[in-house]
Structure 1
Amino acid sequence: MEAEGTKGTEGRIVGVAVDFSACSRKALKWTIDNLIRNGDNLVLVTVQPEGHYEEGEMQLWEATGSPMIPLAEVADPHTMNKYGIKPDAETLDIVSTASRQKGIIVVMKIFWGDPREKLCEAVDRTPLSCLVIGNRGLGTLKRAIMGSVSNYVVNNADCPVTVVKVSDN
């Protein structure tokens, strides 16, 4: 995947924040149905909590984020175990189908730390043409205490950010 010069209409680099929850799957589906075009690159950006890792790939990439991980390796449990990631079958099916049907390249980039800061870092490091993020629909009190990741990213990322809200149903 070539990052330089891909912010035009062909070969855009579209990021989706994924944590393998129903909320992130909804954002992923929305992105594929409404935003992704043939020839685009889809980057699944996931942020894991910081920790003290003694083995595996996490220790190597904690400061800068992982290298771009191709879809074939994202689907490999052994490879993902090295990064401490367990993608769910539904997310893997969604991206595999989109890759085949839309002719897109799908990769994953893993960061460790505060999701708000690391998602903004992903925009700059990749660089992303745009980012789609799900909104868990926290109530006013929880949002005030915990802070809204999506709100922070919308206000601080250096690219367009789309927030896909979870319905109240």
Structure 2
Amino acid sequence: MDMDGEVALPEGRRILVAVDESDESVQALRWCLATFFAARGAGDTIILLYVRPAPPTYSVLDASGYLFADEVTSAIDRYSREVADAVVEKAHKLCTLYSKEMGDDDHEMKVEVKVAVGDARSVICQMADKLGAGLLVMGSHGYGFFKRALLGSVSDYCLRNASCPVLIVKSQHE
């Protein structure tokens, strides 16, 4: 951070924003756009990353004893892909609208979209490293102590394990 409390990143920044279905994710993306791209966006890239859960690997028998795991797994995977597409499309539209609002061709924002599969915690950290992110921005779901202890926190994990600086945008409820 510089003396004004601003986060200083070099020209040609690569900012990875972890997105999901939550309002907190949208809030973090909006904060990122307003903070980093309002002043100067030339040469910068925002990378939108959505992590889908890995497809289930269990079998299920119906009432007649027939195995239909392939059908169930296929349906779950198809739904997961549809959710991923909808989330990244919404996030990409938000970036496009923000860029148009800026109305400055000199501050063109480059947007990349990545969808990965696996455990969100480890995948986000791996992708930050693989994609050469200078900063990872993510929202906080605002879980209290007990929920965080039971469910774990993706943002806490990334804060401790990512190879780049991590900026967590707290929810408005916190």
TM-score category by the smaller chain? 0.7 to 0.9
User: What residue is the counterpart of 1:132 in the other structure?
Assistant: 137
* Closer/same/farther in 2, CA of residues 9 and 29 from structure 1, 3 Å limit: same
Question: What's the TM-score once normalised by structure 1's chain length?
Answer: 0.72
Question: Following TM superposition, by how much is the alpha carbon of 1:85 offset from its aligned partner in structure 2, in angstroms?
Answer: 2.4
Question: Following TM superposition, by how much is the alpha carbon of 1:139 offset from its aligned partner in structure 2, in angstroms?
Answer: 1.4
AA at the equivalent of 1:34: T
Q: Matches of 1:106 and 1:94 in 2, distance apart?
A: 11
* Closer/same/farther in 2, CA of residues 162 and 141 from structure 1, 3 Å limit: same
For residues 137-156 of structure 1, the aligned pairs below 5 Å read 137-156=142-161
Question: What's the TM-score once normalised by structure 2's chain length?
Answer: 0.70
* Closer/same/farther in 2, CA of residues 51 and 150 from structure 1, 3 Å limit: same
Larger gyration radius, structure 1 or structure 2: 2
Q: 2:121 aligns with which of 92, 107, 116?
A: 116
Runs of 5+ unmatched residues, structure 1:
1-7, 59-79
Runs of 5+ unmatched residues, structure 2:
1-8, 57-72
Q: State whether residues 128 and 162 of structure 2, in contact with CA within 8 Å, keep that contact through their aligned partners in structure 1.
A: yes
Matching of residue 43 in structure 1 with residue 47 in structure 2: yes
Question: Following TM superposition, by how much is the alpha carbon of 1:143 offset from its aligned partner in structure 2, in angstroms?
Answer: 0.3
Q: State whether residues 42 and 104 of structure 1, in contact with CA within 8 Å, keep that contact through their aligned partners in structure 2.
A: yes
Q: Matches of 1:30 and 1:92 in 2, distance apart?
A: 15
Give the total of aligned pairs. Answer: 139
User: What residue is the counterpart of 2:13 in the other structure?
Assistant: 12
AA at the equivalent of 2:112: V
